[in-house]
Amino acid sequence: MAVGALQGSDPPGADAQNELQQPQREVTVSVGQTLTLNCTVSGATVVGPVKWLKAEDKVNRTVYEDKGSFSRVTRVVNPSNTDYSIRISNVQIEDAGTYYCVKFQKGEQDKVYMSGQGTNVLVHDQHLSSLLGLLIGLLLEKGVIGLVLFYLFKRRMV
């Protein structure tokens, strides 16, 4: 299933009673924190699972579905036939990317019935940010000291 096929997919023959809400467009989280991605489905009488997929290159990887075991990923409200929000614990840099909540229509091969707009997850590494801040601080400090010495040297030359 291609990534483009998921972006805001409307179900064939959709009506106002069928709705999948994935309200977060973008979420920023730091390494080690817990991330919550929201998704609710209402009015969908079509039989089939709801899954969370992460867009990776030209394919989508299943991040969560009700069957199976997924380390670090759990349902927020379990069981629920309408709330499919998930939590990802101990977020890592590789968790950055776009996540889609997708309702499938059951068949020999499940097919996409409805999809959310996608949530872009940005992950910041606080340790890397701190190290970068320290490095910039040192460079600025050395630069300021260099300017002061240059000014004093130039003043003596005059």
pLDDT (tens, 9 = 90+) of the chain, 158 residues, equals 554 556 555 555 455 578 999 999 999 999 999 999 999 999 878 999 999 999 998 899 999 999 888 999 999 998 899 999 999 999 999 999 999 999 999 999 999 999 999 999 999 987 655 555 656 666 666 666 666 666 665 666 55
Residues 102 and 146 in one domain: no
Q: Which residues contact 122 (CB under 8 A, 6 or more apart)?
A: 26, 27, 28, 29, 96
Distance (Å) of CA 92 to CA 56, 89, 126, 133, 135: 16, 9, 11, 20, 23
Q: Facing residues of 98 across strands?
A: 120
Whether residue 115 is found in the same domain as residue 97: yes
76 and 12 in one domain?
yes
User: Which two structure tokens, joined as six digits, stand for 15?
Assistant: 């009506």
Residues recorded for the chain: 158
Residues 85 and 148 in one domain: no
**Within this chain, do residues 90 and 157 fall inside the same structural domain, yes or no?**
no
- Domain match, 114 and 43 both: yes
Q: Which residue segment(s) compose the domain that 106 sits in?
A: 3-124
- What pTM does this model have? 0.74
Domain count, the chain: 2
Same domain, 80 and 18: yes
- Do 37 and 112 have their domain in common? yes
Question: DSSP code of 4?
Answer: G
